[in-house]
Amino acid sequence: MSGSALAQGARTARLAGSVGVLVRIELLKLLKRRIFWVAVVLFALLATMKFATASTAAGGEMAFLLAPPGVWPATLAIPATVGPAFLGLVVIALVAPEFTWRTARQSVIDGLGVERFYAAKCMMILALSALSVVLALVVGLVGAAVGSVEWESAALGAGDVQFLASYTAASLMAGAAALWLACTFRAGAPAMVAFIGYAVAEPIAAAILGGRSELLDVVLSYLPVELAMTLGNRMAHYPEALSGLREMMEIVGMSPPDATAVKGLLIAVHLYAMVLFAAGYATMRYRDL
Amino acid sequence: MTSDSVIETFELTKRYGRRGARSVLAVDGVSLSVERGQVFGFLGPNGSGKTTTIGMLAGVVRPTAGSFSLLGATGPRELVAARARVGATLETPNFYPYLSGRDNLRIATAIKGADRARVDECLELVGLADRAGHRFGSYSLGMKQRLSLAATMLNDPELVILDEPANGLDPQGMREIRTIIRDLAGCGTTIFLSSHLLWEVERICSHVAIVRKGRIVASGPVEEIASGDISALVRAEDEMALLEALAGYPDGKGAQRGQEGVIVSLASDDLAALNRYLAGCGIHLSHLARHRQSLEEVFVELTAGDSRTEGGG
Ligand SMILES: Nc1ncnc2c1ncn2[C@@H]1O[C@H](COP(=O)(O)OP(=O)(O)O)[C@@H](O)[C@H]1O
Ligand SMILES: [Mg+2]
């Protein structure tokens, strides 16, 4: 091995050790946090609930219209619509107290540094997003095992993968927004009020402003909450299976999400997430703790 | 910079808020140096900028101007690494209330890269071993303070920085904390300790800096600060005549009537010369002694009026 390869290896090992420490610290804090386990149970229940109702509805006459085939669309239906907001609130509940308890401050004093403190929080958000996907998948598999669903339908199709990816990305964006708010307000209640307030205000503002010009409508469709709602909608991911429903919606004057725009929306969601992560970091970096 | 300085600050300054009526100049050009092995008392009334100064050393307050080094480190990355080798507290004990004392120390151990076995040793040292498994939130103030002392010792630090470690404790609690600090100092650890209560530190410090409204007004070894000017305490039957005579003493720098007699500030500590001079003036002293100003007198003198003007500046 050459010298530079050795140095590279040492750097990688150091980085891995450093990441290992962050993981250990965050796990120690997380696994004993009651609110974390409450959130996990609540989330699993949410996912199960929809699966239960969907599998009974699937027996009805309108089933072919209302539900795309398979386990996943049913399992993901609720997580994908409320999951990102739910994750955001959990992130605020987990992170904001670090400021009120002044444990963020103490971590920096102890030599963690602002950078690694923040990196640990970003990693936690990634892990929580992944966990919410895993939870949804597990619920889906269990549902398939105990329910009347045939096993073949448990295989992931292209639509399922896209649905999962969209859901994960939207969760990441919500988590990043929550982290930024938690680091800015440094207290749970105001951060949650701001988070929920925005989630409510944006669609209202979009409804008021919408329909005036085509350009403005495009811009509005790229606002974060709008993006998350579109990406969480099954109709964006199973256009063929739900074509009947789409037609019905169009007849009554509603506009189903545009399935062809999903790639662009996914890029936008990732951009939002990156900007929000950066904003949170800047807040941490340039303000006294 | 001396190689054995563990803390060195140069014109360190912090202004909270932007320039203007509402901004606060909390620390104003503080330069100090703490050498290895010292027990350094950072004394000043409430609001004089002690916490802010320590906050800058600890990396949670961004200096407005000036610089400092910590264990020789000056760059941002170096400083983060240096802080892992220091044990420091700031203002209040800051821990996760839902975790046990032991788990809280485990987190600090992981951050500092210290040996995990140290957790129980340090808990033992501060007398918390039997409550280590209880939630931090259920601890009394004294236990919280002791846990934060334990946290500073996890990595056998070269330097321990304590911000008002006995604040709010009863005399018994203060005594316990003082004992722990003294033991720590006995092992050769350099200690930087802030307090607004002089008697809390005067018996354990080797060096002090007295800070007032963000500025250092005196610093040095305790004996030097405490002795201050050379002065003598004199008593005679006719105090008026004594004062008159002292006013004409060539080596005198002023005389003042005190509770126990007259205190003369002197240019030299030749008390025999003073006695001869006064005898020549026909004044016979009933008492003549070197007067040592206690640290407390210096402290009160240097920070006089602060408790009244506090918050008004
Ligand atoms: N975060 C802050 N924002 C604005 N002013 C502050 C802040 N922290 C401290 N101060 C002010 O700075 C001055 C010094 O405070 P501090 O460093 O806490 O003093 P000490 O620790 O000696 O009591 C005080 O006037 C205080 O009100
Ligand atoms: Mg203070």
Of ligand 1's listed atoms, the one at least distance from the Cα of B310 is: 25
Q: Are residues B103 and B238 in the same domain?
A: no
CATH of the domain at B272: 3.30.70.980
The reply to whether ligand 1 has any atom less than 6 angstroms from the CB of B46 is yes
**CA–CA min distance A15, chain B (Å):** 14
Q: Are residues B210 and B246 in the same domain?
A: no
Q: Are residues B242 and B147 in the same domain?
A: no
Domain that holds residue B109: 5-226
pLDDT tens per residue, chain A (289 residues)?
566 777 787 777 777 778 899 999 999 999 999 999 999 999 988 877 765 665 555 444 444 445 566 777 777 878 888 889 999 999 999 999 999 999 999 999 999 999 999 999 999 999 999 998 888 888 877 776 776 556 666 677 788 888 889 989 999 999 999 999 999 999 999 999 999 999 999 999 998 988 888 888 888 889 999 999 888 888 788 877 767 777 777 777 677 777 677 888 999 999 999 999 999 999 999 999 8
pLDDT beyond 90 at B177: no
Total Cβ atoms within 10 A of residue B35: 16
Q: What is the pLDDT of residue B1?
A: 47
Q: Are residues B66 and B103 in the same domain?
A: yes
- Measure CB to CB from residue B99 to each of A24, A32, A286 and give the nearest one: A32
**CA B236 vs CA A18, B240, B270, B280, B290: distances in Å:** 74, 9, 19, 14, 15
Q: What is the pLDDT of residue A61?
A: 46
Q: Are residues B38 and B141 in the same domain?
A: yes
Chain A neighbors of B92, CB-CB under 8 A: 102
Do A262 and A234 touch, CB atoms closer than 8 A? Answer: no
Q: Is residue B181 part of a domain?
A: yes
* Gap from CA of B195 to ligand 2 centroid (Å): 8
- B5-21 as b/e: b if 16+ CB within 10 A: bbbbbeebbbbeeeeee
- Measure CB to CB from residue B96 to each of A21, A29, A112 and give the nearest one: A29
Q: What is the pLDDT of residue B63?
A: 95
Chain A neighbors of B97, CB-CB under 8 A: 101
Q: Please give the ipTM for the structure prediction.
A: 0.87
Q: Which residue has the higher pLDDT, A80 or B293?
A: A80
The least confident of A246-250, B96-100, B188-192 is A246-250
At residue B131 the predicted structure's pLDDT band, cuts being 50, 70 and 90, is: very high
Chain B neighbors of A14, CB-CB under 8 A: none
The least confident of A127-141, A214-228, B64-78, B259-273 is B259-273
Q: What is the pLDDT of residue B265?
A: 80
**CA–CA min distance A98, chain B (Å):** 8
Q: Are residues B122 and B256 in the same domain?
A: no
**CA A62 vs CA A69, A193, A244, B55: distances in Å:** 13, 40, 10, 66
Mean pLDDT, chain B, integer: 87
pLDDT beyond 60 at B84: yes
Number of domains chain B is built from: 2
CATH of the domain at B78: 3.40.50.300
**CA–CA min distance B86, chain A (Å):** 8
Do A266 and A170 touch, CB atoms closer than 8 A? Answer: no
What would the two tokens of residue B209 be? Answer: 């800096």
The least confident of A280-284, B33-37, B244-248 is B244-248
The reply to whether ligand 1 has any atom less than 6 angstroms from the CB of B49 is yes
Do B201 and B193 touch, CB atoms closer than 8 A? Answer: yes
* Gap from CA of A284 to ligand 1 centroid (Å): 20
The reply to whether ligand 1 has any atom less than 6 angstroms from the CB of B114 is no
The reply to whether ligand 1 has any atom less than 6 angstroms from the CB of B55 is no
Q: Distance between alpha carbon B98 and the CA centroid of its chain, in Å?
A: 33
